[in-house]
Amino acid sequence: MAGFGAAHHFYKNNIRATIYEKSDFIGGHAATFEREGFIFDDGPHISFTKDKRIRKLFHDSVNGKVEAFKAYVNNYWKGFWVKHPAQVNLHGLPNEMVVKIIREFFEAGKTDKRTATNYKEWLLETFGKTFSETFPMEYTKKFHTTTAENLDIDWIGPRLYQPDLDEVLNGALSASTDNVHYVTDFYYPSNGGFVRFLDQFIDNANLKYSHEVTKIDPVQKLISFTNGKTKRYDYLISSVPLPELIPCIKGVPTGVLEASQKLACTSCVTVNIGVKRKDISKAHWTYFYDQNIIFSRLSFPYLWSPNNAPENCGSIQAEIYFSKKYKPLNKEPDNFIEPTISDLKRCGILCESDEIVFQEARISPYANVIFDLERIPNLEIVHNYLKQADIKYCGRFGEWGYHWTDESFISGENAAGKVLKQLNNLRKPTMVFKEKD
């Protein structure tokens, strides 16, 4: 998304950029794979942008052939199913728990004073102890692979809905509540998976496949690739993950290299399941909080487009998270297929009688940034160095932020805008004025 965002912005300004793609297919983190009639993306991807310009670009890319939905999202906890977000949908949970959550939420709301310095403190100040420890703190361990007290709070934004007391009470008393999740409406290509949103941008750049960077010389402005090729550049924009980019740069200071290796992110094993049944789920995706359930989230791609699965079949994508820093992956991805199927049956998603017609496991080495307490100081060191080396950065793993797909695309556009500003400054005539004698 970020690379094509940059190329698109250059193209609008009559410059044809070259994209060097590591893989032999487009998309990066937004890639799509077709297997035996099933469409699975590299992790769950949908478009829920509120930016009308970006939405039009994506929809034009597929000639307007999109599926539009009102998102329905739910949660599973110890056999209970509740609508998402749980803080305003407590109805149906054990009464004693609901009473404690409401009491603690009320007490937490008595003060406007906020002193939180980490995510755990923020949760306790916002929701109280019972809700925080039952839901978001448990999910943090599964999704971020570390504990809430080890996370900063600059990433939260709209991602955790902060209700008022009336909303909490209404959601405890009634099974029918307003949709307040940050994803209300979403869109998905009718054909070919999420990557098709990039189709119109392919011809706007010179695209070079199978070009994985091995070395960058910022003085000579020279890039070397694993295929043995080298290329001189005028201006360079990178969406390569920072821990991989920095070691490639010739002459990088030791302190910068060390800082780049302290930046943490998750990797994700996605287990993709095809089932000979279509009524698998009423939710577009579901969050799981129990530590004894292997996956943290399920999505159901067959609900996003009727062309994502063969006739009379449904599909499930399970996400299981690891990280080099906190929870290393020490098994082959295929080892997670059977435990996933077992837990799908335990939760009631699958039945013993279900015919599984497709199964695979894939690994995404870079899934999500971990906003741990080491991130901000080390990211500042890395970004300052890249600015000195005149290497622009963009995207989720160039910015090292919580970028959704539209934000990644815009991040690429912004990086291209910085290059264009440099070019315009070079083109400006230099005026020399002399004082009269």
Burial of 395 per CB tally in 10 Å (0-12, 13-18, 19+): buried
pLDDT value, residue 437 = 38
Crossing angle of helices 375-388 and 254-261, in 10° steps, is 140
Please give the C-alpha separations between residue 350 and each of 220, 225, 346, in angstroms, as whole numbers.
Answer: 58, 45, 8
H and E: helices and strands count for the chain? 12, 18
pLDDT along the chain (437 residues), means of 10: 97 96 94 96 96 97 97 97 96 97 95 89 97 98 98 91 95 92 93 97 96 97 97 97 98 98 98 97 97 98 98 98 97 98 97 97 97 98 98 98 95 98 80 49
Instruction: State the pLDDT at residue 162.
Output: 93
Residue by residue, DSSP assigns 68-82 as: EEE--EEEEETTEEE
Radius of gyration of the chain (CA): 24
Greatest Cα pair distance in the chain: 99
What pLDDT shows up at residue 112? 79
Could you give the angle at which helices 95-108 and 119-127 cross, rounded to 10 degrees?
A: 100
Encoding tokens for residue 223?
A: 């890039």
- The whole-model pTM stands at 0.94
Nearest to 372 by CA among 291, 274, 266: 266
| Residue 375, H or E segment | helix 375-388
